[in-house]
Structure 1
């Protein structure tokens, strides 16, 4: 049974101290749902609430390592009126599930044909090396938007520091981040067709992953995002504009 406006997919997302969603990982799933035009509603948690909330629902751990319970998670409704929903965690696994459960041509495909393994490699191996450099500069700004319990949770489970870097070191890290981004942008020069996305005219999970980091920067370091969007002659701005267009698509009216 497909999700309907009366019985939508439930999307579990994270919020900051201001009640605003911010996570780059959950944003990927938000984009997947919007792009495929699937009805959904949102249930929000702060970081420290995730494990207890998921355990109450009977959701199995997403990872074998700590923290085992992470978001995003979706609950796809059962075809049986008395049946339990099907829970899926991890943004990449969710995208795979959605393409299989809600296939093309009725629903747009998230993954390019025969490119799923390449997209997984890029998202899980290459993109983190780019994001890691930039995060050293922007993490202190994330701390300014989270509640204290969430800050302590991140410190405890991920060993992350929210201390600001000295000015000179921060400038060097940002320069290194720009160089990493430049290298990543070279891939745009090898498109087989013109278009705003990495692969041309249609988005893929890679675009959603890059959009996730743009989304985080918009929340915590908008001036930094503006710098990035002007790199590569504004090419990244074009991508972001089209990502934002996807975010506002069909199912917005039934989000909770």
Structure 2
């Protein structure tokens, strides 16, 4: 829902990767915000959050982007800023907050935090359209480093998954603070592609072991499983794990949680 009235507007900070490489996540997030019934805007003058510049030591250049984005958001009167990109959120949480001396002037939420908050406030129920409560899509959740280790967001994504009728969450052995990295972070994907893929493949191997356990449970119930899914909430994790799944011919779908929500009904 895009509006020119800035009273109580939500700002959606898209991020470079979603804007230029993964438009499907921008579409999914926008549709989810619409389903929540909130008024939101995207920023025509949004520039890169500066994450890569900070990570490579180009702080002066990064701070120019920080100043631009903070000024833009404040001038529009935005008090709540929502992210679908975990990397952008971690940069705002760590670097932007430090630059603003702890007073950004607006609150930060990842989509996986914002959806449960609004759903509870509005007493909304969420149902995944493609499956049912009696025949749920069994998913396992991968904790992104940017969201988990950097922002200490572990429980909200799981709370959200458990709120969605038609989903069932089964944890991998290594989860939350012990979760393995997907291999995309820290420039590894860009500079050391083979190592990055190897790391992602190891994460997929753990996911496969999880499915074996699930299949045993399903067989006990004499139910045939359909294709199950690895879910995350970071565009970098989605891309790297999807690539590893494709290269390994695993047949395991990898989705961002926003895409699950896009295929869900809110009532």
TM-score if structure 2 supplies the norm length?
0.45
More helix by share: 1
More strand by share: 2
TM-score if structure 1 supplies the norm length?
0.46
Higher relative contact order (CA 8 A, sep 6+): 1
